Amino acid sequence: MIENIVLDALKTRRSIRKYKKEQIADEELKAVLEAGTYAPTGKGYQDPWIVAVQNPELRAKISEMNRIIWGRDVDPFYGAPTFILVFASNPEKWANSVCDGTLVLGNMMNAAHAIGLGSCWINREREMFSTPEGEALMKEMGLPEGLIGIGALALGYPEVVPTHAKARKENYYRIIK
């Protein structure tokens, strides 16, 4: 197989579910956010909106909203000191919105790993931000109306880093010539 630093990083990135309490450095956060802005988007439209949350009260509110929808009595953000939320247009307005937002999240996860941060994709943002409370929160964050939640990242310094990937399933890909 081809050896390459980027390919190696893609193979070694893992979801982190335990974080140190220490807040990440501003330059690290900006590097991750900037990587998100370079994700490919349909027609170069740059539809997604990215919001980083480090404010403890707002993090607690978002975590509780997510926890309620999840229906489990645990912190859905695993104690991460930073949350990154990604929003995009309603698919009725822009058909590529969910795909574009997903690519933004993927770029940020890989960027975080590349600079020694841990991340974990967090679900349920679409449900959270379609509620009246979620819509009000989006307005407080200065987002335009008509967006939907795509996903979020828990982000921080990993407390524990998993070392082994699960075995890849057989016939995961095919080559047809």
pLDDT digits (tens), the chain, 177 positions = 799 999 999 999 999 999 999 999 999 999 999 999 999 999 999 999 999 999 999 999 999 999 999 999 999 999 999 999 999 999 999 999 999 999 999 999 999 999 999 999 999 999 999 999 999 999 999 999 999 999 999 999 999 888 788 899 999 999 999
Which one is the CATH code of 14-156: 2.102.10.10, 3.40.109.10, 3.40.50.300, 3.30.379.10?
A: 3.40.109.10
Listed residue (54, 52, 55, 76) closest to 64, CA to CA: 76
CB 59 within 8 A of CB 9: no
Question: Contact 157/24 with Cβ under 8 angstroms?
Answer: yes
Strands laid side by side in the 118-122 sheet: 49-53, 82-89, 147-156, 118-122
Residue 7 tokens read as 């390919």
pLDDT for the residue numbered 165: 87
Angstrom distance (rounded) from CA 3 to CA 29: 28
